[in-house]
Amino acid sequence: MRQDREALLGIHHVTAIAGDPQANVDFYVGVLGLRLVKRSVNQDDPGTYHLFYADAVGHPGTDLTFFPWPGARRGRAGAGQTIAVALAVPPESLGYWTRRLTDHGVACEGPARRLGEEVVALSDPDGMPVELVAGPDTGTRTLWTPWEDGPVPPEHAVRGLHAVTLLETAVEPTRTFLVEVLGAREVGDGDGRLRFATGAGGSGAMLDLIARAGAAPGRIAAGSIHHVAWRTADAGTHRGWWERLRGRGIPVSSIIDRFWFTSIYFHEPGGALFEIATDGPGFTVDERAEALGSRLILPPWLEGRRAEIERVLPPLRVPAPARRGPG
């Protein structure tokens, strides 16, 4: 196994596809209480928003992002996909969350016990599976800053990404890739899934693998997870990962400057899209922390197209901070 300084540190972000951007904001900010920390555009399709939700300052590992295409058809979960994202919540907060979801008309199931954790399962407005997970370390995440002005009291707030779930037709190709290429280790087995961890492990650094022989391939569209990004500390380590993948003959993108982080993209053997992204420079490189998400931010190479881009983007209303009720 590689030395710690080279290891993937955990999940950096998860990016999914949505339909209506307003419904997406209303759910992830208004119901789940995440902060919209960057209102930008898809850099490969600038006529589409790219919305970033996270903790108060957008720490890596707390970030769930969306490309919302109004009118997009629904996706279909299947083999070769990341099929669910789990968010960490404090163990004592599950009752709060089941009440809050019910009060907002969001159907949920659980809590149910799985791999030693308590899981509440729900779907977002586009049908994407989202899980709220309480485990031994979900309430003690250190790389997390509470959003004091959010609709959820800090003591109950989502602490960040917990894990992702992949569905494959066979275990071995993906297991071998995770362990031998990405340096993950198998840390759990039960409830029909294998669990892998990167870096120091624990909440925010885990992937669950489910295998179903004969499972039909999925379709990536609204309600689907587009890719999972893994954390690396800096540009030097990031380039090392690019060289490692290329050296093993794995097709990998060029190193891409996303302004808030640097990225490379590749597929694991089953077909799911992965990214490796740097922790910095982060979302406060171009906005003050208190102003995050309040206006459209473009990377410098798109700034000259601002008027054109703003003409085609639909209006977006972010729920204002409000006095918190009991749920």
pLDDT for 314 beyond 90? yes
Confidence of residue 1 (pLDDT cuts 50, 70, 90): very low
pLDDT for 99 beyond 70? yes
pLDDT tens per residue, range 173-208: 999 999 999 999 999 999 999 999 999 999 999 999
- In this prediction, residue 2 carries a pLDDT of 43
Query: How much of the chain, in percent, has pLDDT values that exceed 70?
Result: 96
Cα dihedral value 88, 89, 90, 93, nearest 10: -160
Confidence of residue 6 (pLDDT cuts 50, 70, 90): confident
Query: How much of the chain, in percent, has pLDDT values that exceed 90?
Result: 95
pLDDT tens per residue, range 236-273: 999 999 999 999 999 999 999 999 999 999 999 999 99
Percentage helix, strand, coil for the chain under 3-state DSSP, each rounded to 5: 20, 35, 45
- Contact residues for 21 (Cβ-Cβ < 8 A; gap 6+): 49, 51, 66, 68, 70, 314, 316
pLDDT for 282 beyond 80? yes
How far, CA to CA in Å, does 20 sit from each of 125, 126, 292, 293?
A: 9, 9, 21, 18
pLDDT tens per residue, range 116-156: 999 999 999 999 999 999 999 999 999 999 999 999 999 99
- In this prediction, residue 322 carries a pLDDT of 56
- In this prediction, residue 3 carries a pLDDT of 43
Q: Give the class (CATH, top level) of 4-312.
A: alpha beta
pLDDT tens per residue, range 13-56: 999 999 999 999 999 999 999 999 999 999 999 999 999 999 99
For the chain, the average pLDDT equals 95
Q: Which residue has the higher pLDDT, 322 or 181?
A: 181
Q: What would the DSSP string read from start to end of 198-253?
A: -TT-STTSEEEEEE-TTPPB-B-SBT-EEEEEEEESSHHHHHHHHHHHHHTT--BP
Strand partners, 86: 131, 163
pLDDT for 324 beyond 80? no
Confidence of residue 320 (pLDDT cuts 50, 70, 90): confident
